[in-house]
Amino acid sequence: MIEKALTGDRRYWGWIVLLLVIISAGVYSYLNQLTTGLTLTGMGRDVSWGVYIAQFTFLVGVAASAVMVVLPYYLHDYKAFGKIVIIGEFLAIAATIMCILFIVVDVGRPDRILNVMLYPTPNSMLFWDATVLNGYLLLNIVSGWTVLGAERKGVPPPKWVKPVIFLSIPWAFSIHTVTAFLYAGLPGRHLWLTAVLAPRFLASAFAAGPAILILVSYILKKTAGFDAGKEAINKLSVIMTYAAILNFFLLGMEFFTAFYSNIPGHMHGLQYLFFGLHGEGQLVPWMWLSMIVGLGSVLVLLIPKLRTSMPWLIAACIGIVSSIWIDKGVGLIIGGFVPTPLEKIVGYMPNINEILITIGVWSIGILILTVLLKIAVAVKMQDQLKA
Amino acid sequence: MNENRREFIRKTGLGVLAGLGVASGIFHKSSFETVLASTEHEDEAKGTRLGMVIDTRKCKEGCTKCIDACHEVHNVPQFDNSKDEIKWIWKDPYKNVFPGESEQFLSEETKNRSYLALCNHCDKPPCVRACPTKATFKRGWDGIVTMDYHRCIGCRFCMAACPYGARSFNWRDPRPAIDKINQAYPTRERGVVEKCNFCSERLSQGLKPACVAECPEGALTFGDLNDPHSEVRDLLKNNHTLQRKSELGTRPSVFYII
Ligand code: SF4
Ligand code: SF4
């Protein structure tokens, strides 16, 4: 099937070359980081995780959100998702690979990363996270590829693939739950030490993921003439709306618990993020941007007339993705470290090398997604031509 | 189904779940067995548990002898920016070392003094729980929480897990920033985490930790917390002491006389 990715028009190749150029800049920056050390990032003794781990967290959500198309299609036989389900699975593959890459670029000794598997440590949530992520990647590659392969030959998919797909459903929930456990089980990091962290992760994932799916489908329609179907897009936008509302509801819970209880430690993280603490509030504008854009998008989505109009829907999707990206990708990680365990306010600003690596990893993911979707669309269109 | 059976099933169900959790090391066995408040310590006086009592009244303002000695014997690099900074033991004001302790109407004296901070060699160390490679581990025979620099992958999960900011990461090659290399202790490589090791290398030669040995005021006392006749236990018996953030259940082995 892979040969289908090797034929394309000039636009396709132009896009591939562009991605490759950005990736080389990322690889170059990574080599810099390898030789000089992680001092080439904005991270430091106090804010010891930054933009890499933030992207990781966000992307685990994107990967998990494939379940929002897989579950209705395979479990409830919801036919309208017939064409979009493969896009979801391939998005999950690309996102999971990016997650793994973001961990690799974040660790100080990538040459020793296999120690996680060589000395399995069940009491560490990171061990479990590595296990479930790799498993999830495998499940999606196997199910996505097999089903598409069968479709190309015009035969029904083999029977054994069904259980694999069913397994991938609870597995999707597990990856984001375990990722939340990385943070939610640490004593003394008040912003993270909350039982609703995993539910919030899932809610925000099921909002941002479908939003990205809608955007990808839109691009595919414009560039490749592949239409996922109006009903599928409508359904996804409804899922996204409810998930986004749930996400904001859970955020509200955090505010209530922290501020009504009036316990300083519980308030400090949110205070720092949204209002500034001791006169310092590096992230305040970002968090409010996230809040306003997110709530604005929810408002748009709640009005059926706007939700079903393509330009509004696209705008709302971009809004939801950016809002959640800021909230989960910037606020959550930095807010967990500041104030520090010694109650100090420490700033964090990613530097250029770190940003280039980050964009590089994203480009690798987008390249993988492009190639996979090129194949998927070619197979699907061959059906359409025959039909 | 009758009540008894339901109860039985509920209990065994929970028991199996808890048992699995405990067996895998995710939960502490004691979490399910005792009804003690988090700050209480049930007596697990098995074996040795090395610890320290710091008499902050004796600690002289402006003196850094213990800090210098520690950093010198352990080849701790000196970077002049807080981002790359590596430190095993340092001084900070009351409100930073003991956040959560009452600060209202604090005596001027207490407020203005600075206090030593170092790894607490927690009895229930969250850093050990978090480490995915066992590069950070607690020694069964004396309770010291220590590290294998050769196994650490530099994921910094332990830094996120330590509620005391006791851990440092080698963001860059430390060697150029070491004044005088002490051949008796290894230098670290770029990309791994490090922290106070209670001078385990000196203890094995029968010496006291460097900070304890170097303090001219006798402010630091080191010994076995599980031995009721030790010097540290004597101090604990006769003075009111604090542990940092004891409410977190980490059970620090470093105690402070304020
Ligand atoms: S003080 Fe921090 S580094 Fe030391 S044992 Fe406790 S949790 Fe671990
Ligand atoms: S940085 Fe090293 S010691 Fe710390 S958790 Fe990771 S592997 Fe363990």
Residue B9 has pLDDT above 60, yes or no: no
Q: Which of A325-334, B30-39, B211-220 has the highest mean pLDDT?
A: B211-220
**Is there a domain that residue B22 lies in?**
no
Tokens of A322: 């950016």
Partner-chain residue, chosen from A109, A110, A182, that has the shortest CB–CB distance to B192: A109
CATH code assigned at B138? 3.30.70.20
Angstrom distances, CA of residue B63 to CA of A78, B59, B209, B211, B226 = 73, 8, 17, 12, 31
**Is there a domain that residue B71 lies in?**
yes
**3-state SS, residue B115:** strand
Q: Residues A283, A273: contact at Cβ < 8 Å?
A: yes
**For residue A277, which phi and psi values (nearest 5 degrees)?**
-125, 135
Residue type, B139: R
CA distance A142 to chain B (A): 28
Cβ burial A312-336 (10 Å sphere, 16+ → b, else e): bbeebbbbbbbbbbbbbbbbbbbbb
Residue with CA at minimum distance from ligand 1 atom 7: B162
Interface of A with B in 228-287 (CB under 8 A): 264-265
**Is there a domain that residue B3 lies in?**
no
CA proximity to B251, closest of B25, B24, B37, B23: B37
B250·A187 Cβ contact <8 A:
yes
B133·A119 Cβ contact <8 A:
yes
Distance from Cα A271 to the centre of ligand 1, integer Å: 27
pTM given for the model:
0.93
Q: Residues B118, B149: contact at Cβ < 8 Å?
A: no
**Is there a domain that residue B1 lies in?**
no
Maximum distance among all Cα pairs of chain A, rounded to whole angstroms: 67
Q: Residues B207, B199: contact at Cβ < 8 Å?
A: yes
Specify the length of chain A in residues: 387
Residue B165 has pLDDT above 70, yes or no: yes
Q: Evaluate the omega torsion of the peptide bond into residue A339 and state whether it is cis, within 30 degrees of 0.
A: yes
- Distance between CA A135 and CA A40 in Å, rounded? 32
Interface of A with B in 42-81 (CB under 8 A): 43-46, 48-49
* Paired residues of A84 in beta bridges: none
ipTM of this model? 0.92
- Distance between CA B227 and CA A53 in Å, rounded? 44
**For residue B222, which phi and psi values (nearest 5 degrees)?**
-125, 145
Count CB neighbours of A110 within 10 A: 17
> Best mutation site among B85, B91, B133 for testing chain A: the one with the most A CBs within 10 Å?
B133
Residue of B nearest to A117 (CA): B133
**Is there a domain that residue B205 lies in?**
yes
Residue type, A177: T
Q: Residues B136, B147: contact at Cβ < 8 Å?
A: yes
- pLDDT tens readout for residues B229-244: 999 999 999 999 999 9
**For residue B254, which phi and psi values (nearest 5 degrees)?**
-110, 125
Opening angle at CA A179, ends A48 and A169, nearest 5:
160
For chain B, what is the domain count?
1
**3-state SS, residue A199:** helix
Residue with CA at minimum distance from ligand 1 atom 4: B119
Residue type, B68: D
Question: DSSP H helical segments within A185-276, as ranges?
Answer: 197-224, 230-261, 264-274
Q: Following DSSP, what letter does each residue of B215-231 receive, concatenated?
A: -TT--EEEEETT-TTSH
- Site of tokens 């008040």: A190
Residue-level pLDDT at A3: 82
Helix A161-184 vs helix A51-64: crossing angle, to nearest 10: 150
> Which residues of chain B neighbour A178 with C-beta distances below 8 Å?
none
Residue B42 has pLDDT above 60, yes or no: no
**Is there a domain that residue B11 lies in?**
no
Interface of A with B in 110-149 (CB under 8 A): 110, 112-113, 115-116, 118-119, 121-127, 130
Residue B34 has pLDDT above 60, yes or no: no
Partner-chain residue, chosen from A45, A118, A126, that has the shortest CB–CB distance to B82: A45
Residue of A nearest to B94 (CA): A342
- Distance between CA B23 and CA A116 in Å, rounded? 19
Q: Residues B111, B93: contact at Cβ < 8 Å?
A: yes
Opening angle at CA B154, ends A364 and B149, nearest 5:
145
B129·A123 Cβ contact <8 A:
yes
Q: Residues B243, B256: contact at Cβ < 8 Å?
A: yes
> Which residues of chain B neighbour A109 with C-beta distances below 8 Å?
152-154, 189, 191-192
Tokens of A91: 């998005």
Distance from Cα B192 to the centre of ligand 2, integer Å: 7
Q: Which residues contact A78 (CB under 8 A, 6 or more apart)?
A: A72, A235
Tokens of A243: 């998930």
Indicate the top mutation candidate among B129, B138, B156, B157 to test ligand 2's pocket, ranked by most ligand atoms within 8 A of CB.
Answer: B157
Question: DSSP H helical segments within A37-153, as ranges?
Answer: 51-64, 67-70, 85-106, 115-118, 125-153
Residue of B nearest to A38 (CA): B171
Ligand closest to the CA atom of residue B165: 1
Residue B125 has pLDDT above 80, yes or no: yes
Residue-level pLDDT at B26: 72
Instruction: Name the percent of chain B lying above pLDDT 90.
Output: 79
Cβ burial A182-191 (10 Å sphere, 16+ → b, else e): bbbbbbbbbb
- Distance between CA A131 and CA A175 in Å, rounded? 9
Residue-level pLDDT at A387: 54
Q: Residues A141, A93: contact at Cβ < 8 Å?
A: yes
Partner-chain residue, chosen from A37, A43, A115, that has the shortest CB–CB distance to B153: A115
In whole numbers, what is the pLDDT of chain B averaged over residues? 90
**Is there a domain that residue B60 lies in?**
yes
Residue type, A8: G
- How would you classify the pairing of strands B114-118 and B89-93? antiparallel
Indicate the top mutation candidate among B52, B122, B124, B246 to test ligand 1's pocket, ranked by most ligand atoms within 8 A of CB.
Answer: B122
Average pLDDT (B130-145) is 97
**3-state SS, residue A147:** helix
- Distance between CA B68 and CA B77 in Å, rounded? 11
Opening angle at CA B124, ends B123 and B128, nearest 5:
110
Q: Does A35 touch chain B (CB under 8 A)?
A: no
User: Which residues, judged by CB distance below 6 Å to any ligand atom, belong to the binding site of ligand 2?
Assistant: B 130-131, 133, 135-136, 147, 152-158, 193
- pLDDT tens readout for residues A97-126: 999 999 999 999 999 999 999 999 999 999
Which structural domain, as residue segments, surrounds residue B187?
Answer: 50-257
Residue type, A160: W
Residue type, A215: L
- Distance between CA A185 and CA A176 in Å, rounded? 14
Angstrom distances, CA of residue A254 to CA of A119, A298, B45, B75, B235 = 37, 19, 40, 44, 43
User: Which residues, judged by CB distance below 6 Å to any ligand atom, belong to the binding site of ligand 1?
Assistant: B 119-122, 125-127, 145, 162, 164, 166-167, 195, 250
**Is there a domain that residue B17 lies in?**
no
- Per mean pLDDT, which range of A138-142, B13-17, B47-51 is the poorest? B13-17
- Distance between CA A41 and CA A193 in Å, rounded? 26
- Distance between CA B83 and CA A46 in Å, rounded? 7
pLDDT tens per residue, chain A (387 residues)? Answer: 778 888 888 999 999 999 999 999 999 999 999 999 999 999 999 999 999 999 999 999 999 999 999 999 999 999 999 999 999 999 999 999 999 999 999 999 999 999 999 999 999 999 999 999 999 999 999 999 999 999 899 899 999 999 999 999 999 999 999 999 999 999 999 999 999 999 999 999 999 999 999 999 999 999 998 999 999 999 999 999 999 999 999 999 999 999 999 999 999 999 999 999 988 999 999 999 999 999 999 999 999 999 999 999 999 999 999 999 999 988 999 999 999 999 999 999 999 999 999 999 999 999 999 999 999 999 988 766 665
> Which residues of chain B neighbour A182 with C-beta distances below 8 Å?
157
Backbone dihedral region for residue B171 (phi beyond 0: left; psi -120 to 50: alpha; all else: beta): alpha
- pLDDT tens readout for residues B201-215: 999 999 999 999 999
